[in-house]
Amino acid sequence: MKRRTYLRAAGAGAAVGLAGCLGGGDANPNVSLSRPDRENDVSSEDLPYPAWGQQVPDVTLSDPIAGIEVSVRDIDVPHFHTYFFTNCMTVCPVLISALREVQIHSVSEGYADEVSFYPITFDPARDDADAFRAEADQMNVDMDAGNWHFLRPADESEAKSVVEDQFGVFFEKNEPDDEGNYMFTHLGLISLVNGDGYVERTYRGNQPDEQSLIDDLTALREA
C-alpha cells in the first residue's frame, strides 16, 4: 500500500483521529522496544508516518518561546511528538493532556531531564509564542521543567511540507466561517522517538492511553 494513499484514506476516515497503537517489522538494531502487535500484519512501510524502526524527518523547526531552532534528529533523549493546533477543541487537547500527564510523571519521579516533549503545530498563522504560552497555561503544562518545546513551521507551506509530507500526518483546513474562523480535519497521532531519532512507538487515535505512554517510555529508558 502506498504511504500517501494510506494517509488520505486514514484522514478521510477519521476527522479527529483513529484509535490504535502501531509499529511494524522484524528485529531492528535502531530501536530498543520490540515490534508492536498490529492488525493485518501492516508493516511500517505501509504507514504514512514514520513508525517503529524508522527515522524521523531531517527537519528544523522554531521554538518561538525559547527563541531557538530545533533539529528534530538531533534531540538526544527519548522524546514525544504530537501534531496539533491551539484552536482545536476536539482531539488536540486530549493529545496535549496525555503528554502533560507523562511530563507530570517525569517531574514527580525525578527523570524530567531524561525525556522531552515537542508538539508541532500545523497552524503557524495563529500559533505563535503567545498562543503557545496560553496553551501551556490552559493545559497546565510545566514550562519551567525545561523539557517541553512547542515547535512551529515558518508558514502554511512549510507546515504542509513538514507535518503532512514528511511526518505523514494528514490535516486539511476547513472553510472559514462568516467571521473568518477556521478549524482543521486531521489525524490524531503521538510518536515516541529514541535519542537516535528512530521511532519506537506510534499511538494513533483520539484517546491515547497515558499509562501506555509512561510504560513504553519507562521500558525505553531502562533498555
Q: Which residues are annotated as a binding site for Cu cation?
A: 88, 92, 186
Phi, psi torsion values for 166, nearest 5 degrees: -100, -45
Cα separations in angstroms, 73 against 6, 96, 197, 221: 25, 21, 5, 18
Paired strand residues for 80: 117, 192
Grid cell digits, residue 163: 507535518
Paired strand residues for 68: 63
Euclidean distance between CA atoms 16 and 189, whole angstroms: 10
Cα separations in angstroms, 64 against 42, 70, 116, 127, 164: 37, 10, 16, 10, 21
**Binding-site positions:** 88, 92, 186
